[in-house]
Structures are given as structure tokens and as C-alpha cells.
């Protein structure tokens, strides 16, 4: 379910959800604002898939929360 494979299409994987979230996260924003922007994607649809994708991005250290509580991309 996280990665695409024999029985999971790329569009249904959490990896794809994470990539869509990264595309929507161009500047600092709240979780609520990111949810409002990204829930229109047919691959995300539910808050559960949104949180799983966001969790994956945190685990991979691609997003972080700053001191003011805003999400931002980690620039390396």
C-alpha cells in the first residue's frame, strides 16, 4: 500500500499521495490549509490517506513543522 507493486497501482500508493502533498506544499502553510488544497485530488480523497501521506513525508524527513506551527519543506 505504501509502494506500488504487483497488486497496488502507483496512483493508489501512499508514495504517490506524498508526492502530491509535496507539490501542494510550495510555501509555509498550516495542516488545515494543506488539507483544503489537496483533498480535491482523486488519489487522496480521505483525511486518512492525507495523514498517511503526511506521515510518510515526516518519516522521510521531507517536511517539518517550524516554531510557529507551519508545515514547510525541508531544503537540503
Close Cβ partners of 44 (under 8 Å, ≥ 6 residues apart): 17, 20, 21, 38, 50, 53
| Phi, psi dihedral angles at 23 (to 5 degrees) | -65, -40
Domain ranges of the chain: 10-73
Q: At what angle do helices 31-38 and 47-59 cross, to 10 degrees?
A: 120
CATH number of 10-73: 1.10.10
**Could you read off the pLDDT of 6-60 as tens digits, one per residue?**
777 888 889 999 999 999 998 999 999 999 999 899 999 899 999 999 999 999 9
Give the confidence band of 68 by pLDDT, cuts at 50, 70, 90.
Answer: very high
pTM (2 d.p.): 0.87
For residue 64, give the DSSP letter.
Answer: E
Amino acid at each position: 500500500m505504501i509502494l506500488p507493486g504487483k497488486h497496488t497501482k502507483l496512483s493508489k500508493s501512499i508514495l504517490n499521495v506524498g508526492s502530491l502533498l509535496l507539490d501542494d506544499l510550495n510555501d509555509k502553510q498550516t495542516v488545515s490549509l494543506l488539507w483544503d488544497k489537496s483533498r480535491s485530488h482523486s488519489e487522496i480523497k480521505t483525511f486518512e490517506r492525507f495523514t498517511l501521506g503526511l506521515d510518510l513525508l515526516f518519516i522521510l524527513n521531507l517536511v517539518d513543522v517550524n516554531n510557529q506551527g507551519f508545515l514547510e519543506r525541508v531544503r537540503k
